[in-house]
Amino acid sequence: MKTMTCRQLGGPCELAHRGETADDVIAAQDQHLKDAEKAGDATHQEARDAMKGRWRHPKKSLGWYNDMKKSFAGLPED
């Protein structure tokens, strides 16, 4: 297991997401941003909008995705 924070994934806070793969923590971040938006948390809105854009245009967002995978790979195991 490895941990990345909301901030490391492009968000505004230090909430930790743990997962076996980069895709696990990216999915956790996506859910976190959805929950924050639903709760009316304006501090996460910019990150949520960016995440929605990535899901809609995956080819354009491949650079972000590859960067997150590299960052995740470079992290120590928890």
The distance in angstroms from the start CA to the end CA of the chain is: 6
How large is the average pLDDT for residues 62-72? 94
DSSP codes, 15-70: -EEEESSHHHHHHHHHHHHHHHHHTT-GGGHHHHHHHHHHHH-TTTTHHHHHHHHH
**pLDDT tens per residue, range 1-45:** 999 999 999 999 999 999 999 999 999 999 999 999 999 999 999
Using an 8 Å Cβ cutoff, are 71 and 8 in contact? yes
Element counts in the chain: helices (H) and strands (E): 3, 2
pTM of the predicted model, to two decimals?
A: 0.89
Using an 8 Å Cβ cutoff, are 14 and 6 in contact? yes
Domain locations in the chain as residue ranges? 2-71
